[in-house]
Every structure is written in C-alpha cells, then in structure tokens.
Structure 1
Amino acid sequence: MQYFSNIQRQGELNSDETEPFSNNFSNDIEDNSNKIDSKENDEYLVSNSVGYLGGLKYSELLKGKKNRWKVLLDEVKKLDPRNPVVKAIIRTLVCGFEIPARLVYMIKPGWEKKVFRVINSWGKALIKIAKIKLEIVGNFDIPQDKPIVFVSNHTSPYDIPVIYGTLPVLAGFVANKELATMPVMNYWMKQAHSIFVDVKDTKSRISTLKKIVQNLNNMQHVIIFPEGKMSPDGNLQDFQRGGLQAAVIANACIVPIALNGVREVLPPGDFTINPDKRVIINIGNTIFIDKLNNSEKKRIDQIVYDCLSVLLENARKI
C-alpha cells in the first residue's frame, strides 16, 4: 500500500524534511503527497517489488467482482483441496453470524469490547488454522490515557490476522481500499475504526492522514505498515512519509512490532498457506511522543525505522 511518499534514511534527509510541522496540517500533507509523480511512483513500486505485485494479484483478481469470497474460493480450489486457506476463508465468513449482535448493543454499552473479542478470536483462529508456532518476545506496554500507533513491518497478507490475534486492545488498520469491499471482513474492520485508502488517489492519501489524527484524538488506536507495501524480500523497506507524523501531531504513543516468519506462512500473491511455520513477534518498548524533544519528533520516522530494524534482526536470531 503506497499511501505516503518515500522518506530517505538517516544521513540522506533533505533539509526541507527536517523542518518543524506547520500549523496547517492539510497543506503539509498535500505538499508531501505531491513530491513524487504518480507515474514515477508506480514505476518505482513495480520495479523488483514482489510484495507490491503480490498485492496487485489479489486486487486484480477481485476487481469488479461482486461475490468476492466465491472468487477467492474458486481460485483456491485450483490448488490442493486440503489447503488451509479454505478453512481460513470459512472462519472469516463465520464472523458474519456475529453482525446481528450490533442490534443488541445499540441499547446497551460494550460494543467495542464485543468487536475486540470477535476480531481477536478471528486472528487466533487463523493462527491455529495455519498451525503457526508462535513465539512472542517482550510485552505490550499499553498506557491507559494515550492513543497508540502500532507500527509493524509488512511481509504477508497473513500479517493482519497474526497482529489481530496478538494485540491486547482494539485497533484499526490503515489498509488498502480493496479490503473495504470484502464482505464480513470489511464490516468488522470498519467497526474497529480501520481507515481505507485509495493508493492511487492523492486526495485519498491526504484524507487518510487526517483520519489517522482524528482517530488518535478520539482515543482510537491505529495499526500501520509504514513501508506502505509488502516487502519484496522480507527485509525492512524505506518508510513512507505521513503515518508517524500523524502520531506526533496527535501526541500519541508508538509501539513497534517486528514480525518474522509470517512470509513463510503465506507469501505475497500466493493462495497457499504453509502450515507448521515458526513466527516470532518481537515487541519493542513504547515510544512516548510527549517525552521526545523537538529534534527527536522531527526524526520520528528514522527513530522508529532504526528500532524496527533492531527488533527484526533480533527476531531472526531467536
């Protein structure tokens, strides 16, 4: 998901990228979004980008289709009928039976707790279906009075259920607009305050950044993949500008999460789940924005990038 323009690594930052944020957030974001020509951006993404092309495979397969789950099942049936992905799709559809519960919670509190239980149990179920050997390193330090931006590397479509099955709180993804058209899944992601973005539309990217700030200001936690797309080789890619700046503007907390091994469970663009794979989730220390000085706030992308790099490297050694 290429929804922010590229940033450069430490030592390569342009002078204009280290300027303080202006009071006009909309203008800041629009200026950043227009830095790269869309055609050049597409060429950059497609070049040697297995992760991007993998995402395109899913998008193109479902484009213009009405019964999208049937399309996915038909595609999967071409493979081994014992493919665990069939069970994963069925388990996702089962969540649809929980939707009528919304009527009950219209007259009593506790709806968000219900949403968390549904999404968390769905994630745990998909982890079980794939027979993932999950190891969690570290603990989630969840402040009660601050919104949180969970930041993770992105190597597989299965990152979403793995994260949802692991997080101790309700949070919404910043996700590609295609997910907004998937029945059942789209409903529960919307109830979790997920934000869907059209990666090819500059106005959509600007609107997305505003929504991230709005959600955080409303104490709604957010999950982002700052690379903007699935990694082509499993290594951490350059971050895309915007998401972490929104965290700074909203004075949120940032929790870095490194995923290692999910790519082996379901590679980008594939429909075959490979069971019995070992997955490491390495949780970093919470970064409190209000404890950073102005210089550190300007370098938040690089700070989080370096943190995720270390977490990922350590996860690979486990």
Structure 2
Amino acid sequence: MIRLIFVVIFLLLYFILGLPVLGVLWLIGKRNKPAADIASLRIVQWAFKVILFLCGTKLTVIGEENVPKDQPVLYIANHQSYFDIVVSYSRCPGLTGYIAKDGLEKVPILSIWMKRLYCLFLNRQDIKEGMKTILKGIDQIKHGISMCIFPEGTRNDNPKELLPFKEGSFKLALKTGCPIIPIAMTNTPKIYEAQAPLLKKTHVVLHYGKPILPNELDADTKKHIGVYTKCVIEQMLEENEQYLETP
C-alpha cells in the first residue's frame, strides 16, 4: 500500500507542478522547438524512472545496443500492462511518439503532455480516421521522430502467446523504410495488474531485438511482416526467462 501512496502523491505533484513547466516549454518552443522537444522527453523519462523506483521495479535491459541512435525507428512491442509504456519510454534515446487509444486524448493534462511528445491517438472503430493516424505517424518518422505501437491492439493476459499482430501497424515502417525494433517485455503485469490496486516489487526484463529492415526482406516475408515480427518477439519472450530472478 505504501508504494501506491507514494506513486499517487508523486503523480499529483507532477501534474500540478507540470502545468507551469508546460508553459515554459511552450515559450522555449517558440524560439527553439528541438530544445523544447528534448526537454519534454527527458522530463517525462525522469518522471517514469521515479515511478519505477517508487514501485520497487528492478529493470534488466537486454540488447539496447540494437537501437539506432542516429535515425528514427518503429518500435513494435508486446502489450500486457499499463507499465509497458512507463518501462519502454524511459529508455528511448530520442524523440518517440506512441500510438495510443483515442480515449486518452480526452484526459486533461495527460493529453497535453502526450501531444508534446508526438503521441498519436488511434480510433480503432473508424477505419478512415485510423488510416489518418497511421499517415501522421509515417510523416513523423520522415521528420526524424521514432514511433512505438502495440500491434496486438489491446493488452494481452497471456505472457508468452501473443495476439495476432495487426498488419496495418507496420505501414509506418514499410512506407518509410525505417528499421523495426522488436521489443519483448516480461513481468510488467506483476507491478500492478496482478494484484491491483496494490503495487509490487518486481523484476522486469526489457529486451530489444535486432533491427528488422523492411527493404531487405524477401517479398513473402515483407507481405506477412506482422506474422514474422510476432514470431521474433515470441522467441525473445522465451529468452527473457533466463534473465529473471527474485528481485
């Protein structure tokens, strides 16, 4: 219970004190947008790292050298927990927008921060609107901003067997040629969902796979790139078991 109280207090303070910070970032952005963007990224990453610390999360990171530092990428990750975003975003080396469900756009303050961080809101019920979101993501990658998407489309309770990947998610890479970085996260549900509303000290593994280069795939693999990437991440999840230990 004490962990939950600390996290709630921290979040309240962050959102309250974050309002003037947003104003300062807006002013900085008028003169130097890249500086404001990087400042926004680092501030949120700091907050996420504090939250993980307060939760007692031990994080083991595997394969971080596979993430290019000099070009935008498309992160493709499994999705089991709200903490998947906290864990993965805290390690992004550069500007990265996440594709989130459109309901989050209506959350005060949170949506402002998300927009500052180039996150996009996906309407899963409207195909036309969904395609517009994907096109925006493609444009952002072309302008040097990495994107992250959870192609299962929803949180999955099965830790090892992934839901089918939505092939449309991969248009972000297929239309830009950017590398796909597969991400396999293990144990994130044990931080919160497994014993909600309590928070539990947990050992989490964040595993980055080798870049998948769409333009170097054969025609058949490229046509079924979602299935291919899903298999890669499932293999990574199996490998993650060897890194787990009692925190």
TM-score by length of 2: 0.87
Aligned to 1:107: 31
Aligned to 2:188: 262
Aligned to 1:241: 167
Structure 2 SS opposite 1:279: strand
Structure 1 SS opposite 2:184: strand
The 5 Å alignment of 1:1-318 reads 83-84=4-5, 85-87=7-9, 89-90=11-12, 92-93=14-15, 94-101=17-24, 102-109=26-33, 110-143=35-68, 146-235=71-160, 236-267=162-193, 271-318=196-243
Structure 2 SS opposite 1:205: helix
Higher helix fraction: Structure 1 or Structure 2? 2
Shift of 1:215: 1.7
Give the conservation status (yes or no) of the 8 Å contact 1:255–1:285.
yes
Shift of 1:231: 0.3
Shift of 1:273: 4.0
Aligned to 1:3: none
Shift of 1:181: 1.9
Give the conservation status (yes or no) of the 8 Å contact 2:100–2:121.
yes
Structure 2 SS opposite 1:100: helix
Show structure 1 runs of 4+ deviating over 6 A. Answer: none
Give the conservation status (yes or no) of the 8 Å contact 1:124–1:166.
no
Give the conservation status (yes or no) of the 8 Å contact 2:207–2:236.
yes
Shift of 1:82: 6.0
- In the alignment, residue 62 of structure 2 is paired with which amino acid? V
Tell me which structure has the larger Cα radius of gyration.
1
TM-score by length of 1: 0.69
